[in-house]
Amino acid sequence: MKSKVRIIIKKTKLELGAAAAGLGAQLIRAAIRKNGKANIIVGTGASQFEMLGQLVREPRIDWTRVTAFHLDEYFGTPITHPSSFRKYLWERFVSKLSLPLAAFHYINGEGNLSAECRRVGAILARHPIDVCFAGIGENGHLAFNDPPADFKTKAPYIVVRLDQACRRQQMGEGWFKTLRQVPDRAISMSVAQIMKSKAIICTVPDRRKAQAVKNCLSGEITPMHPSSILQRHKAAWCFLDKNSSSLL
């Protein structure tokens, strides 16, 4: 099967971030024009820095008509912790917007994880996603769906265990000082739910992602390379730089 993912390669992280944000903004505006509102998923991690930095500056987006969700959250991590994705999204996205969002439905990983999956999943079910902003992990994960990923579950959010490669990436990016500090569980949006998004924009810079990019975008579709599922999506774009695309 020929991959449906559209690959865009830029020279630098700044350029790829700007290009990804530009396309995302275009799709958000189109959804608002068509439906009077837009629903989006906002990714986190170091790969999203440049994209989010540009997205919050994109003109002519009525953010009061936009409802947002995020992909995942660590277990037992308070919002004040430097690694908290709630904290990340507030600091890098929500608080930077020129207008307030209609809503941002944060995931709380501090209590009963299964109950939280049901709570936020029920909200998500009422908001068909127009644009999902995501990345690809060093181990090929999509959100926190580490290999072998569950491609079959229909639940919107699931409780997952983070593998060693994923946990090492979180430490390597500076979110935690030691591997022991990295939680081994998290809430993650499921692969099937991500694939329901009308459009998916993946922003994947850096040479450390090159092998995963090759595996997921030019190899077979397999749970061992979770982001390979994107090859089946009818409206998926992957923005790379010269380093992350070096093995293609």
Domain assignment present for 213: no
Cis previous bond, 148, omega within 30: yes
Give the chain's domain count.
1
CATH code (residue 121): 3.40.50.1360
- Would you state the pLDDT for residue 1? 62
Per the rule left: phi > 0, alpha: psi between -120 and 50, beta: everything else, 143 is: left
Check pLDDT > 80 for residue 102.
yes
Q: By three-state DSSP, how is residue 110 classified?
A: coil
Pairing of strands 66-70, 38-42: parallel
For tokens 């308070």, name the residue.
78
Domain assignment present for 152: yes
Q: Is 227 exposed, middle or buried (0-12, 13-18, 19+ CB in 10 A)?
A: buried
Domain assignment present for 20: yes
The answer to whether the predicted template modeling score (pTM) of the entire model surpasses 0.85 is yes
CA distance 198 to 132: 8
* Chain mean pLDDT for the chain: 96
Phi/psi at 107 (5° precision): -90, 130
Domain assignment present for 43: yes
Q: Which residue range is the domain that position 98 belongs to?
A: 7-207
Q: What is the mean pLDDT of residues 86-108?
A: 97
Check pLDDT > 90 for residue 2.
no
pLDDT digits (tens, 9 = 90+) for 136-148: 999 999 999 999 9
- Would you state the pLDDT for residue 3? 83
Structure tokens at 173: 């990016």
Check pLDDT > 80 for residue 232.
yes
Domain assignment present for 215: no
pLDDT digits (tens, 9 = 90+) for 37-75: 999 999 999 999 999 999 999 999 999 999 999 999 999
Domain assignment present for 104: yes
Domain assignment present for 164: yes
Alpha helix stretches (DSSP H) within 69-150 = 85-92, 113-124
Number of Cβ atoms within 10 Å of the Cβ of 229: 21
Looking at the DSSP bridge assignments, the partners of residue 40 are: 68, 131
Q: What is the mean pLDDT of residues 232-237?
A: 97
- Would you state the pLDDT for residue 196? 98
Domain assignment present for 116: yes
